[in-house]
Amino acid sequence: MPSISRFYGILIYLYYRDHPPPHLHAKYGGDEALFNMQNFEVIEGKLPKRAMRLVKEWLELHMEELIANWERVKEYQEPVQIKPLD
């Protein structure tokens, strides 16, 4: 489970050969949520409101990089780190 970014205490992960739809795992404290990369909706789990907003903002900024990383991890290739929110 490679970490691809970290910002404001939020960790972003992709799992190797994970199931569709393209999604990422965001962890903050003891909470975790899976975000659909295509529509930014939460597939399952939960995060505090502020963390949820920050993840969605980051998703919008890095959509192309995320999809490229999704394709990489589907083939067990190491994902590229993505710039965190400033």
The predicted pLDDT at position 1 comes to 73
> For 59-81, what is each residue's pLDDT tens digit?
999 999 999 999 999 889 999 99
CA nearest neighbour of 53 among 44, 66, 42: 42
Domain ranges of the chain: 3-74
Q: What is the pLDDT of residue 39?
A: 92
Provide the CA 55 distance to its chain's centre, in angstroms.
8
- Whole-model pTM? 0.91
Quote the pLDDT of residue 10: 98
User: Tens of pLDDT along 10-61?
Assistant: 999 999 888 889 999 999 999 999 999 989 999 999 999 999 999 999 999 9
